[in-house]
Structure 1
Amino acid sequence: MKNYIIEIRWAFIFTVASLLWAGIEKLVGMHDSNIGTQPVFSLLFGIPAIAIYGLALLEKKQKVYNGNMSWKEATVSGIVLSLFVAVLSPIAQWAIYTLISPEFFPKAIQFYTDKKIVTEARAIEMFNIQAYMKKGITESLSMGVITSALVALIVKTKNPKS
């Protein structure tokens, strides 16, 4: 675990950032009057997410690899970060939908059924804490791996010394 202390710390930073983002969403009405646009607004979290991955990989490059990091090393570090983010994701989801915005799921179910986007049964299946916890884990892993590989292209040393 000592080898991954940087990734663990940045996973906590990522989790705090996602909680802050959820708070911003709630403040600007994405969990209430603008709930229909919340999925699109949530995509904007990709900007701070990429920045967090970049800062984490830069720290790893400087502190562990003495400024000389290959794409593979950066990608592996990012994937490890993604694993820790995925482990913390259910806790973040619980905090968001229990503490920050407990009314989110009932309002989402009502919005999507009132607009006849999905049936009530499907909305109930989609908008609940268990579904969002699973979604959080899978998105953390899938988007984390992709983000890691892309950010590693920027962070890597051009001609790493072997």
Structure 2
Amino acid sequence: MKNLKIEIKWAIIFSLATLAWMLVEKSLGWHDEKIADHASLTNIFAVVAITIYVFALLDKKRNYFKGVMNYKQGFTSGAILSVFVAILSPLTQYIINKFITPDYFNNVIDYSVSAGELNREAAEAYFNIQSYMIQAAVGALLMGLVTTAILAFFLKSKS
């Protein structure tokens, strides 16, 4: 478990950053009066997510691999980080939707129906806690692996 300490630490940091980001989104009105902008503006979090992955892999390189990390080691570390982020994401989604923005689902369902994007049944099927927990876990794993595949290339030690 000691060799996974860095990945666990950064998965927790990632989850806390996600919660903080949701507080920002909520305070900016992206979950209620400005919900029409939410789908595009929430993607700004990608910058935060990538930055966290960069720091996580640099931490692993410096403090575990003593400054010398090859692509496979970097990718493996990032993949493990992605798994831990995916494991934590349902809990993170629960906290977001229970405490930070409990009206989000009602708001986004009403908006998507009134904007003609979905009928009520489809909106309710898509915008709910179970759906978001699954989307968060799968998204964290897939996006984490893609991000890791790219970052490990740039952060590997030069031979």
Q: TM-score range by the shorter chain?
A: over 0.9
Deviation at 1:37, TM superposition (A): 1.5
1:66 is paired with a residue whose SS is coil
- Find the aligned partners of 1:132 and 1:36 in 2 and give their Cα distance: 18
Find runs of 4+ consecutive structure 1 residues off by over 3 angstroms. none
RMSD of aligned residue pairs (Cα, Å): 0.6
Deviation at 1:32, TM superposition (A): 0.5
CA deviations over 1:54-93 (Å, ceiling 9, x no partner): 0000010011111000011101100000000000000100
Normalising to structure 2: TM-score of the pair?
A: 0.98
Matched with 1:42 is 42
88-97 vs 34-43, greater mean Cα deviation: 34-43
Deviation at 1:121, TM superposition (A): 0.1
For 2:148, give the aligned amino acid. S
CA deviations over 1:92-134 (Å, ceiling 9, x no partner): 0001111000000000000000111100000000110000000
How many residues align? The count is: 159
Deviation at 1:51, TM superposition (A): 0.6
For 2:125, give the aligned amino acid. E
Gapped runs of 5+ residues in structure 1? none
Aligned pairs (5 A) from 1:60-139: 60-139=60-139
Identity %: 40
CA deviations over 1:10-48 (Å, ceiling 9, x no partner): 000000000000000001111001112212111111101
Matched with 2:157 is 157
Gapped runs of 5+ residues in structure 2? none
- Find the aligned partners of 2:98 and 2:39 in 1 and give their Cα distance: 19
